[in-house]
């Protein structure tokens, strides 16, 4: 019995309306991508049904085999795309393509550049593919029945893309989805056999399900024929795949308009057989830093799609890698839990990581410019590898690039190996400073003595750098040492005469530093004479075993509690401001507090009492003016 409700009218959410307006009125070029998007959705729906049927075979009961059919009607100006996939329930229709803006919608709108050709290509990237139907259609009719629903449990959805849609319950014989596009007059060209076939072979040839169209041969009238070659590209021998084919396959995975920076196609034989095809993009995707983002590896078993977003195949620090792994010996009904604890998967993953890292090493050595581009896009992510991946730390360390005092620019171009080569033999450590910006790092007073002695210091200002240096610890047996922590190794920095002179100054100023220490009280661990400063009067130093100011601030910003370790204040014995101070100075307290606050400011630390600081500075300035000093 067919039970049909009357159609109900719903309204799209504002963001969806904006998106539709844009599809209809602004994106003129590259309209053909609508077909790629609808085919991709149909193919996904078939993959999902196959996967669901592994648990519940009854879902496939009505027998229709998985695939897509594309037909057109020239007289009525329509194109229809039908799939025998899982279909949608009423709620799913409303949620997936109806009222509610999907998470990518806003980001898509924000990412638009105004260049219509480029913008049309972004559609798939942001998960708003369905709406691309409105690039060519003035009305879209969708009928669908979820595989779990009875024959009268279908849904019909109709919209002209102008803000509203209707939805009603209908009968639908076959499970799956049909989408009929009523083409605009200007877009009639798409109701044309050769046009549709051309688009399919361009964008969807590799889809492994049959995509069929009505045969145009007279004697085969009424028959359907496959129009895609459907061979899984990765299963073909490397030397038979052209660069252009790789490129288009990559595009179908990533929706990236540019060619990939790196293509790695590999077949592994032996007791664990698999094929992998990996791509590294030229540009970071918009969701590189989104924790919820989907990972880029699709898992197949003997060419049958198992799942995308296969997290266990690639560590998170290589989340920008796109591609396919096709394993010969896994069961077809693998679950995510199975993958998590599977030895074969672990082996595939570890071999894949090694392959990718060795390709990056090759790039760094042979094509430094390409590597520099790669680093600009993905360096911050790759740095996480030092923390996450103990096994590959040595290789990863050589892939790292940092900024150093050697260059004026903020670009990260210096490697540990080059630093190592440049450093004087007697230098005991590899020096670095961390701060929350390149500017704060490069202007830090801690660098003064290093600059004076011509010793290179890495300037680190990515948040991950703090974890990187503490995980790495050393490079080729030289410890990585913060210039802002602990005592300096004076053998690297001072002549024996300098050291003698310093000891004398320490003695002379012992009373002053003690007095200052008691004036600062709970704010410092101690006050001492500095070996680091040449130009600034004072600086703050972390004790050897403390976290350091920058890391404490990062942790606090992340909402984590950081032990509130007190810094050590160091004063520059040769600075005129310090030289005019003595334990008996009438304004010693004001001076001490101002020096302390300034040292904190130059580290990029916020002052707890900015008003008190300003007041003190003004008092001291007024006094200096009045006395003519």
| 130 is a site residue for ligand ADP (CB under 6 A) | yes
**CA–CA separation, 535 vs 170, rounded Å?**
81
Helix (H) or strand (E) holding 466: helix 464-472
**CA–CA separation, 316 vs 297, rounded Å?**
12
Q: Which residues contact 36 (CB under 8 A, 6 or more apart)?
A: 124, 199, 203, 204, 252
**CA–CA separation, 173 vs 62, rounded Å?**
10
Nearer CB in complex with Mg ion: 129/154:
129
Q: Among the candidate windows 123-131, 301-309, 413-421, 454-462, which touches ligand ADP by CB under 6 A? A: 123-131
| 178 is a site residue for ligand ADP (CB under 6 A) | no
Work out the number of other CB atoms within 10 angstroms of the CB of residue 383: 26
SS3 assignment, position 331: coil
Residue nearest to ligand ADP (CB): 129
Nearer CB in complex with ligand ADP: 43/513:
43
Distances 612 to 176, 593, 608, 619 between C-alpha atoms, Å = 71, 10, 9, 11
SS3 assignment, position 116: helix
Going by their DSSP bridges, the two strands 176-183 and 211-214 should be labelled as unpaired
* Residues in the chain, overall count: 629
Whether 35 and 207 have beta carbons less than 8 Å apart is answered as: no
Lookup result for tokens 């796109």: 322
Nearer CB in complex with Mg ion: 102/172:
102
Of 466, 275, 258, 244, the C-alpha closest to 377 is 258
Least separation in angstroms between CB 38 and ligand ADP = 7
| 552 is a site residue for ligand ADP (CB under 6 A) | no
Site size with Mg ion, rule: CB under 5 A: 2
| 42 is a site residue for ligand ADP (CB under 6 A) | yes
Footprint of ligand ADP on 476-535 (CB under 6 A):
none
Least separation in angstroms between CB 19 and ligand ADP = 10
Whether 31 and 136 have beta carbons less than 8 Å apart is answered as: yes
| 177 is a site residue for ligand ADP (CB under 6 A) | yes
Residue 79, token pair as written in the block? 């194109």
| 573 is a site residue for Mg ion (CB under 5 A) | no
Helix (H) or strand (E) holding 141: strand 137-145
**CA–CA separation, 109 vs 15, rounded Å?**
8
Nearer CB in complex with ligand ADP: 309/491:
309
The residue from 97, 181, 301, 520 that contacts ligand ADP (CB under 6 A) is: 97
Binding mask 54-93 for ligand ADP (x = CB under 6 A): -----------------------------x-xxxx-----
Q: Among the candidate windows 38-46, 140-148, 480-488, 533-541, which touches Mg ion by CB under 5 A? A: 38-46
Edge-to-edge strands, sheet with 176-183? 8-11, 164-170, 154-159, 137-145, 176-183, 78-83, 68-73, 211-214, 224-226
Binding mask 562-601 for ligand ADP (x = CB under 6 A): ----------------------------------------
| 285 is a site residue for ligand ADP (CB under 6 A) | no
| 129 is a site residue for Mg ion (CB under 5 A) | yes
Of 52, 74, 50, 78, the C-alpha closest to 64 is 50
Q: Among the candidate windows 127-135, 278-286, 335-343, 581-589, which touches ligand ADP by CB under 6 A? A: 127-135
Footprint of Mg ion on 39-58 (CB under 5 A):
41
Nearer CB in complex with ligand ADP: 37/119:
37
**CA–CA separation, 523 vs 261, rounded Å?**
51
**CA–CA separation, 27 vs 161, rounded Å?**
14
Nearer CB in complex with ligand ADP: 92/506:
92
Nearer CB in complex with ligand ADP: 146/616:
146
Q: Among the candidate windows 124-132, 210-218, 405-413, 589-597, which touches Mg ion by CB under 5 A? A: 124-132
Least separation in angstroms between CB 39 and Mg ion = 9
Residue 66, token pair as written in the block? 């998985």
Please report which residue ranges of 265-367 form alpha helices under DSSP H.
336-340, 343-366
| 39 is a site residue for ligand ADP (CB under 6 A) | no
Nearer CB in complex with ligand ADP: 203/450:
203
The residue from 22, 45, 334, 578 that contacts ligand ADP (CB under 6 A) is: 45
| 153 is a site residue for ligand ADP (CB under 6 A) | no
Q: Which residues bind ligand ADP (CB under 6 A)?
A: 37, 41-42, 45, 83, 85-88, 96-97, 127-130, 177
Q: Which residues bind Mg ion (CB under 5 A)?
A: 41, 129
């Amino acid at each position: 019995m067919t039970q049909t409700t009357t159609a109900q009218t719903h309204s799209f959410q504002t963001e969806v309306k904006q998106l539709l307006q844009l599809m209809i009125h602004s994106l003129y070029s590259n309209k053909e991508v609508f077909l790629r998007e609808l085919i991709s959705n149909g193919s996904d729906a078939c993959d999902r049904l196959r996967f669901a049927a592994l648990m519940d075979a009854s879902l496939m009961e009505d027998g229709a085999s998985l695939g897509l059919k594309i037909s057109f009607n020239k007289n009525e100006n329509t194109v229809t795309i039908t799939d025998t996939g899982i279909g949608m329930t009423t709620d799913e229709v409303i949620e997936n393509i109806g009222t509610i803006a999907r998470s990518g919608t806003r980001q898509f709108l924000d990412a638009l550049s105004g260049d219509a050709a480029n913008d049309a290509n972004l559609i798939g990237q942001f998960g708003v593919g369905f709406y691309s139907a409105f690039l060519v259609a003035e009305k879209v009719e969708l009928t669908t029945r979820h595989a779990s629903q009875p024959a009268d449990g279908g849904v019909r959805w109709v919209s002209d893309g102008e803000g509203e849609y209707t939805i009603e319950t209908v009968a639908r014989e076959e499970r799956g989805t049909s989408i009929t596009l009523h083409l605009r007059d200007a877009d009639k060209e798409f109701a044309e056999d050769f046009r549709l076939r051309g688009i399919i072979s361009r964008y969807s040839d590799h889809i492994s399900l049959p995509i069929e169209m009505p045969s145009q041969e007279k004697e085969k009238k009424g028959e359907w024929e496959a129009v895609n070659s459907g061979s899984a590209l990765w299963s073909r021998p490397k030397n038979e795949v052209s660069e252009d084919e790789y490129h288009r396959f990559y595009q179908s995975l990533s929706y990236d308009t540019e060619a990939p920076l790196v293509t790695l196609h590999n077949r592994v034989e032996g007791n664990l057989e698999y094929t992998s095809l990996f791509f590294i993009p030229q540009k970071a995707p918009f969701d590189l830093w989104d924790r919820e983002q989907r990972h880029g590896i699709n898992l197949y078993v003997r060419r049958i799609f198992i799942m995308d977003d296969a997290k266990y195949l690639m560590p998170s620090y290589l989340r920008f890698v796109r591609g396919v792994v096709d394993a010969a010996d896994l069961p077809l009904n693998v679950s995510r839990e199975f993958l998590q604890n599977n030895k074969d998967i672990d082996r595939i993953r570890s071999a894949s990581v090694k392959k990718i890292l060795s390709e990056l090493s090759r790039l760094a050595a042979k094509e430094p410019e390409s590597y520099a581009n790669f680093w600009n896009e993905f360096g911050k992510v790759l740095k996480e590898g030092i923390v996450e991946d103990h096994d590959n730390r040595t290789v990863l360390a050589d892939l790292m690039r940092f900024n150093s005092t050697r260059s004026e620019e903020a670009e990260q171009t210096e490697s540990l190996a080059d630093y190592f080569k440049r450093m004087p033999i007697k230098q005991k450590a590899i020096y670095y400073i961390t701060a929350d910006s390149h500017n704060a790092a490069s202007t830090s007073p801690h660098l003064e003595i290093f600059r004076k002695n011509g010793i290179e210091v890495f300037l680190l200002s990515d948040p991950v750098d703090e974890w990187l240096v503490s995980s790495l610890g050393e490079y080729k047996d030289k410890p990585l040492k913060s210039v802002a922590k602990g005592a300096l190794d004076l053998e690297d920095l001072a002549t024996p005469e300098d050291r003698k002179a310093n000891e004398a100054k320490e003695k002379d100023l012992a009373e002053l530093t003690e007095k200052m220490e008691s004036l600062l009280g709970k704010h410092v661990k101690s006050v001492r004479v500095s070996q680091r400063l040449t130009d600034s009067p004072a600086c703050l130093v972390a004790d050897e075993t403390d976290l350091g100011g920058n890391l404490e601030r990062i942790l606090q910003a992340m909402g984590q509690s950081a032990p509130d370790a007190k810094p050590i204040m160091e004063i520059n014995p040769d600075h005129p401001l310090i030289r005019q101070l003595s334990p008996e100075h009438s304004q010693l307290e004001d001076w001490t507090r101002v020096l302390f606050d300034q040292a904190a400011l130059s580290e990029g630390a916020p002052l707890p009492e900015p008003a008190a600081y300003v007041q003190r500075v003004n008092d001291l300035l007024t006094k200096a003016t009045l006395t003519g000093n």
